[in-house]
Amino acid sequence: MNVALAQARPGAPEGTWCFALTNGVREAEASVVVSVANTGGPYRQRFLMQEAQWMLGAPDCARGDRNVVEIRSTALNDEGAKLAALPDNEVAFAFSVLAR
C-alpha cells in the first residue's frame, strides 16, 4: 500500500501527521499499527519517553476527497513530580495500515 503526506487542518496541534491512503483502502475498513522509532536524535529537547498513536477518524486532518489516517506524536517529560505530555514534531515513528 502507498500513502502520501496530506494536509493537517489549520490550528491542528503540533505533532499531527496526516497521510492519504491509496489503492482503494478506506480508513473505516482498516486498522493502523504505530510504533515509535528511537533515532537517537539530535533533538531540540531531551524527553523521558515518546509515543505516537492513531487518531481514529482523523479529526485534525483536512478531508478533501481522500481517505486520511492521522497519527499524533507526543513527548513525555518530567515536570516536577509528574509526567507532562507535550505534542511534538520530533518524535520518529513507523506505521502500518492493515486492510480488513
State the pairing for strand pair 93-99/3-6.
unpaired
Higher pLDDT, 72 or 75: 72
In this predicted model, what pLDDT tens digit does every residue of 15-56 receive, in sequence order? Answer: 999 998 877 777 777 888 998 876 665 655 666 778 899 998
- Band the pLDDT of 72: cuts 50, 70, 90: very high
Where in the sequence is the domain holding 47, given as residue range(s)?
Answer: 3-99
pLDDT of residue 25: 77
Note whether 15 and 36 are within 8 A (CB).
no
Number of domains in the chain: 1
pLDDT of residue 75: 85
Taking residues 50-70, report their average pLDDT: 85
Q: Is 59 left (phi over 0), alpha (psi -120 to 50) or beta?
A: alpha
